[in-house]
């Protein structure tokens, strides 16, 4: 993927940051996109200090205008986006019976609609180039379900459906669209979990460890590569065997 441009959302920390590092290691020019400008600038600066090509792309995934602007500016500065990693996501957990519509709407808007809008923005250039890799970061709960996360589960299951639909639409243009479904991974999102809950999770993970962001990034790097050219519409589970 040397000299191809990768655009990674939710890249300021956790899985997104690990994906940016992995794709940069593989030779891609990376645009790191998120809301936290300071963290983005630090990451882009770190990569440039290593002789890599990287740019910070501030973005608000709930804003169609922001998504359009960030992707257009990146394409202008870095060339057409060939690899899109839709990683940005939030949680607003609560039992369905008491979930506020606002909490439902916010999670769907950022996790699912934002990913769709980003895909829309990158497809024209990918179609012109007749090459593209779209990788959507779903979740184990998008396949298994999870109590107290109806909005998050729906958004992540929606990403799997979106992946398969766009894969079928774009296959003839040599654009592959896949999803990666992480299990429990040590990130900012899971840091608040109690040790008791983490121990309980480990009982159900055959590999007996919590995942690392780098585990997920390795799968993303593979799906973005030439070696994965004949894989599309696939959901790659990176969950230690938690869900099979």
Sorted by where each starts, the structural domains of the chain and their CATH numbers stand as 5-235 (3.40.50.720)
pLDDT beyond 90 at 14:
yes
Give the full edge-to-edge strand order of the sheet including 235-238. 54-58, 29-34, 5-9, 81-86, 132-137, 175-182, 235-238
Judge whether residue 188 has pLDDT over 80.
Answer: no
Alpha-carbon distance 199 to 188, whole Å? 18
pLDDT tens readout for residues 145-162: 999 999 999 999 999 999
Q: Average of pLDDT values for 197-215?
A: 92
> Would you say residue 2 has pLDDT above 90?
no
Phi, psi of 175 (to 5 degrees): -110, 120
Q: Residue 224: what are its φ and ψ, rounded to 5°? A: -85, -5
pLDDT greater than 70 at residue 227 = yes
What's residue 195's pLDDT?
84
According to DSSP, residue 187 is labeled: S
Q: What's the chain's average pLDDT?
A: 96
pLDDT tens per residue across span 39-89: 999 999 999 999 999 999 999 999 999 999 999 999 999 999 999 999 999
Share of the chain above pLDDT 90, in %: 92
- Does the structure show a pLDDT above 90 at 1? no
Give 165-184 pLDDT, tens digit per residue: 999 999 999 999 999 999 99
pLDDT exceeds cutoff 70 at 27: yes
Please check whether residue 83 is in contact with residue 133, taking contact to mean a CB–CB distance below 8 angstroms: yes
Q: What is the pLDDT of residue 189?
A: 66
Euclidean distance between CA atoms 124 and 244, whole angstroms: 36
Residues that are catalytic: 152
Q: Two tokens at 5?
A: 């441009």
**DSSP annotation string for 15-31:** HHHHHHHHHHHTT-EEE
Mean per-residue pLDDT, 204-213: 95
Asked if the model's pLDDT at residue 127 lies above 80, the reply is yes
Tokens of 228: 């994965």
Say yes or no to pLDDT of 110 above 80.
yes
pLDDT band at 201 (very low <50, low <70, confident <90, very high): confident
Helices (H), 79-187: 101-108, 114-129, 141-144, 150-170
């Amino acid at each position: 993927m040397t000299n191809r441009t990768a655009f990674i959302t939710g890249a300021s920390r956790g899985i997104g940051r690990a994906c940016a590092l992995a794709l940069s290691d593989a030779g891609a020019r990376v645009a790191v996109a998120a809301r936290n400008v300071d963290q983005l600038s630090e990451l882009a600066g770190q990569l440039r200090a290593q002789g890599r090509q990287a740019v910070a792309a501030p973005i608000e995934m709930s804003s169609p205008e922001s998504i359009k602007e960030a992707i257009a500016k990146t394409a202008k500065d870095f060339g057409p986006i060939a690899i899109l990693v839709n990683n940005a996501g939030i949680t607003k957990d609560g039992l369905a019976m008491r979930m506020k519509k606002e909490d439902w709407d916010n999670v769907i808007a950022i996790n699912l609609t934002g990913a769709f809008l980003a895909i829309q923005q990158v497809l024209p250039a990918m179609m012109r180039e007749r090459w593209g890799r779209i990788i959507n970061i779903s979740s184990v709960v998008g396949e298994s379900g999870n109590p107290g996360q109806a909005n998050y589960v729906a958004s992540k299951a929606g990403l799997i459906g979106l992946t398969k639909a766009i894969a079928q639409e774009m296959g003839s243009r040599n654009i592959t669209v896949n999803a990666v479904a992480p299990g429990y991974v040590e990130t900012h999102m899971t840091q608040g979990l109690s040790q008791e809950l983490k121990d309980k999770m480990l009982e159900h993970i055959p590999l007996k460890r919590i995942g690392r962001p780098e585990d997920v990034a390795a799968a993303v790097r593979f799906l973005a590569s030439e070696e994965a050219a004949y894989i599309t519409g696939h959901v790659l589970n990176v969950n230690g065997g938690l869900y099979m």
